[in-house]
Structure 1
Amino acid sequence: MAKSKASSAATAYFRLPRPLPSLVTVLGLGYFAWVVFWPQSIPYQSLGPLGSFTQYLVDHHHTLLSNGYWLAWLIHVGESLYAIVLCKHKGITSGRARLLWFLQTFFFGIASLSILIAYKPKRQKQT
């Protein structure tokens, strides 16, 4: 019975990422979106060195910023798809767990994917 519970827990493995890396990812992508789509509304002078640097990038490299923004989301899609592949290789068969890994990795990127990469499922002995 205990072996069965352990086995089902492994097939439904899911963990939330640490809050700080997740917050950094969300704030970074949010700021990136703000810079790309609404640069006229940014209070550059209130942001200190970050504001000056951002204003320089907006004024001189807006196309690069825009392409970088979409590339960042494309990378998150790739990480999410890789999370699904990792779930299969690590024996996570629960559809709910796989969906959670996909969504979490899409929104938090490597902060989530690193947990799944580090996960070492216990192999059952074949008798």
Structure 2
Amino acid sequence: MAKSDVTEYFKRTSMSWMIAITLAVGYFTCIVFAPEVIPYQHLGPYGTFCRHLVDNYADLMYKGWWAAFAIHVFEAAYSLKVCSNKGITSQSARLLWFVQTFLFGFASLGHLLKFDPKRSSKQE
């Protein structure tokens, strides 16, 4: 990888992670903000458990949702710092890392943390 490639480095997270995280966050969002749309009776023991959480711990679930949101914002901001530390200067690459990390959290940030620009430069 040439030096200029390091400045534009971006790696998309796997589709399986993207789907799993999207479904999990979407379900969590529905449980917190629109619990009436969830068909708990069709989900078996998991539905019973979720209904119990909604009925008895709605406030805690609400706070947990905002905590997860804050963590994703922090991870996305941290990805910009990591980009700077690793020499990724392309604004488009940095934006991609920020957005991907905000949406998919550590599934994205893990790729960025594993990236070693020194090793990539030696493979020219």
TM superposition score normalised by structure 2: 0.93
Partner of 2:9: 13
Partner of 1:56: 52
What is the aligned counterpart of 2:22 among 26, 31, 34? 26
Partner of 1:100: 96
Q: Which has the larger radius of gyration?
A: 1
Partner of 2:114: 118
The aligned amino acid for 2:24 is G
**Equivalent residue pairs, number:** 121
Task: Give the deviation of 1:119 after TM superposition.
Answer: 0.3
**Structure 2 SS opposite 1:122:** helix
- Counterpart Cα distance in 2 of 1:11 and 1:35: 41
Correspondence list, 1:82-101, <5 A? 82-101=78-97
**Structure 2 SS opposite 1:74:** helix
The alignment-based identity, stated in percent, is 48
- Counterpart Cα distance in 1 of 2:44 and 2:12: 33
What is the aligned counterpart of 2:39 among 26, 43, 54? 43
Of structures 1 and 2, the one with the larger relative CO (CA 8 A, separation 6+) is 2
**Could you list the per-position Cα deviations for residues 70-107 of structure 1 after superposition, in whole angstroms to 9, with x for gaps in the alignment?**
11010000000110000000000001100000000000
